[in-house]
Amino acid sequence: DAKTTQPTSMDCAEGRAANLPCNHSTISGNEYVYWYRQIHSQGPQYIIHGLKNNETNEMASLIITEDRKSSTLILPHATLRDTAVYYCIVRVLTGAGSYQLTFGKGTKLSVIP
Amino acid sequence: SAVISQKPSRDICQRGTSLTIQCQVDSQVTMMFWYRQQPGQSLTLIATANQGSEATYESGFVIDKFPISRPNLTFSTLTVSNMSPEDSSIYLCSVVKNRGTRRNTEAFFGQGTRLTVV
């Protein structure tokens, strides 16, 4: 899996949008961008993933740059329960080696009242 | 989705002893994974538990230290053998399943087992 670079930590005011950046400049054409988060004392939880188009689901939006070298996870209205470590991971979608996840250090997001 | 139950959720163990962690999934899955998360660190893959064959270990992890069983498609165990304080970590079980109608896979995680070795 390609390596990713994320800021170590970020703060966000409750109710505001949280924008979490990720750099993945060595991403390959067949690798997707995945986001997981880990709330304290829990296992990681899937948030969203995408290849090259922007994606949105009930949890978040994912904006991927045209050159695919970076992306931004957007939590539109952050709540205190969104306080967690957010991991950006790039991985191939199918085939051998597609199942293991390589976790970086992630971004610790603190949502402040 | 997949519901994963891990037991125990936490334990405090004496050095030199062994602990077996159980992972139960609510549906059949082909691949199960065991991860370790050391204090303040990210997750590191220990091994892939294959049903009907030996587990596949990542670099730095060996079968003698972390024996794994995979007796069927819904269950796996990880044993942490001859424990030392350096083994104090959270151990997580993970499975991969297809997501909806899209031809892709997704990883689901258990709540983890918090192990403290004294």
- The pLDDT tens digits along chain B (118 residues) read 788 999 999 999 999 999 999 999 999 988 899 999 999 899 999 999 988 888 999 999 999 999 999 999 999 999 999 999 999 999 999 998 776 655 567 789 999 999 999 9
Cβ-defined contact of B43 to A44 (cutoff 8 Å): yes
Structure tokens at B56: 């596949």
Confidence of residue A38 (pLDDT cuts 50, 70, 90): very high
Q: Is B9 on the interface with A (CB under 8 A)?
A: no
- Within 8 A of A32 by CB-CB distance, chain B residues are 104
Check residue A93 and give its pLDDT. 66
Q: How many C-beta neighbours within 10 Å does residue A65 have?
A: 12
Radius of gyration of chain B, Cα coordinates, nearest whole angstrom = 14
Q: Check CB contact under 8 Å for B42 and A43.
A: no
CA distance B105 to chain A (A): 7
Q: If contacts are CB pairs under 8 Å, which of residues 70-109 in chain A contact chain B?
A: 87, 93-94, 98-106
CB atoms under 10 Å from CB of B18, counted, come to: 12
For position A98, what pLDDT does the model report? 60
What pLDDT band is residue A94 in, cutting at 50, 70 and 90? low
Q: What is the pLDDT of residue A22?
A: 97
pLDDT value, residue A100: 76
